[in-house]
């Protein structure tokens, strides 16, 4: 039985790939919450969760079950459609970026090549095709992510939610710009928008884009910081600053809808770390088998995210805007210029 010249087993392998990758990301998201509480606990000389299961390992499952059985409350004055839509948008846009991230080298199943990237396939000759605008796709999905938060803030019909939503949209637009410009530095070196090509170009330790030249090094760090701001992580978590805004845009949410925002937040963290790994840290290249390299790099970046959260206090709002528009934006423009000069002078 064949479809488009490829046997059915090939399609089975492709579907299995998608399922395994998705379940793995879901598990990572669930255990990121546990890791965060545990790591921050130890950093602050506490123990962290340790009651549910051995050393608290069942905590994420217990949390999920608890939230699942909570009563669902929709405020009487809320606009229902947008209120229900918002957590869905947040969750889907957080996960969907993963479709284009290559998490491993192409493997062979029964003589057919299977690229380890969800939105990619190989034809009969073994040439791998992936979305040739992969990076733009990630940027597009990241820019849609803001709607989840904005809609949540607006539809709840509460002061705190609205302020949280407004803050989030202003912040995300500001930092999206700098993050996008930092990625331009990558395009200039890779000369391709396809993530397969970008990863293939980074073979070897000094092939990693972050080690290519000083401008790319700064661009990589800048991209990571801007991404932290875009996904509202500390020190940029003003949309849910609990000292001023209760819990910002998700104040009025309860039960599974709240859990979805929570999952979206951690899924965003995983995605951002995966994107940074792919664009700047050589993707799946490294000493271990390809997938393990990728996972190790993503986990190190996630640890850094958590570490930052345990270390830094929150920015003030005017500082945040000043940093985005008056420091990061000119800096990225300068990096693009510098990168262009470096490429023409040294890499001809």
In the complex, which residues of this chain contact another protein (CB under 8 A)? Answer: 79, 81-82, 85, 131-133, 136-137, 139-140, 143-144, 146-147, 150-151, 153-155, 162, 165-166, 169-170, 172-173, 176, 193
Comparing CB distances to another protein, the nearer of 119 and 241 is 119
Smallest separation (angstroms) from another protein to the CB of 155: 8
CB of 190 to another protein, least distance (A): 12
Which of left, alpha, beta for 289 (phi over 0: left; psi -120 to 50: alpha)?
beta
Nearer to another protein, 81 or 312 (CB): 81
Please give the span between the terminal C-alpha atoms of the chain, in angstroms, as a whole number: 50
Closest CA to 278 of 116, 125, 122, 153: 116
Long-range pairs, 52-55, Cβ under 8 A, ≥24: none
Question: Which candidate, 141, 316, 324, 347, places its Cα nearest to that of 244?
Answer: 316
Nearer to another protein, 48 or 324 (CB): 324
CB of 85 to another protein, least distance (A): 8
| Minimum CB distance to another protein, residue 141 (Å) | 8
CB of 215 to another protein, least distance (A): 22
Q: Which is nearer to another protein, 83 or 294 (CB)?
A: 83
Q: Is the peptide bond before 99 cis (omega within 30 degrees of 0)?
A: no
Q: At what angle are helices 134-155 and 159-190 packed, to 10 degrees?
A: 170
103 with 294: CB under 8 angstroms?
yes
Output 67 or 340, the one with its CB closest to another protein.
340
Tell me how far, at minimum, the Cβ of 277 lies from another protein, in Å. Answer: 21
Query: Whose Cβ is closer to another protein: residue 39's or residue 139's?
Result: 139
Q: Which is nearer to another protein, 15 or 173 (CB)?
A: 173
Shortest Å, Cβ 213 to another protein = 23
């Amino acid at each position: 039985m064949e479809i488009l010249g490829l046997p059915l087993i090939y399609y089975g392998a492709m579907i299995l790939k998608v399922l395994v990758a998705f379940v793995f990301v879901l598990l990572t998201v669930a255990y990121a919450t546990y890791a965060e509480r545990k790591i921050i606990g130890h950093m602050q000389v506490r123990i962290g969760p340790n009651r549910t299961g051995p050393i608290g390992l069942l905590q994420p499952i217990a949390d999920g079950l608890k939230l699942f059985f909570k009563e669902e409350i929709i405020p009487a004055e809320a606009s229902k459609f947008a209120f229900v839509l918002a957590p869905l948008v947040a969750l889907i846009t957080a996960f969907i970026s993963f479709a284009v991230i290559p998490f491993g080298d192409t493997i062979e199943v029964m003589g057919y090549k299977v690229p380890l990237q969800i939105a990619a396939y190989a034809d009969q000759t073994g040439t791998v095709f992936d979305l040739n605008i992969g990076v733009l796709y990630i940027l597009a999905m990241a820019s849609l992510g803001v709607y989840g938060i904005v809609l949540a803030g607006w539809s709840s019909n509460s002061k705190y939610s609205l302020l949280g939503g407004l803050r989030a949209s202003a912040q995300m637009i500001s930092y999206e710009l700098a993050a996008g410009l930092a990625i331009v530095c990558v395009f200039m070196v890779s000369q391709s928008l396809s993530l397969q090509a970008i990863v293939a170009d980074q073979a070897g330790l000094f092939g990693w884009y972050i080690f290519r030249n000083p401008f790319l090094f700064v661009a990589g760090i800048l991209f990571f910081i801007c991404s932290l701001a875009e996904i509202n992580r500390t020190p940029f978590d003003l949309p849910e600053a609990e000292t001023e805004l209760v819990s910002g845009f998700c104040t009025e949410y309860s039960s599974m809808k709240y859990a979805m925002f929570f999952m979206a937040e951690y899924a965003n963290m995983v995605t951002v770390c995966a994107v940074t790994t792919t664009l700047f840290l050589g993707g799946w290249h490294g000493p271990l088998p390809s997938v393990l390299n990728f996972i190790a790099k993503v986990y190190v970046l996630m640890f850094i995210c958590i570490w930052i959260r345990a270390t830094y206090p929150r920015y003030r709002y005017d500082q945040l805007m000043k940093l985005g528009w008056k420091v990061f934006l000119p800096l990225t423009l300068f990096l693009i210029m510098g990168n262009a000069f470096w490429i023409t002078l040294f890499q001809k």
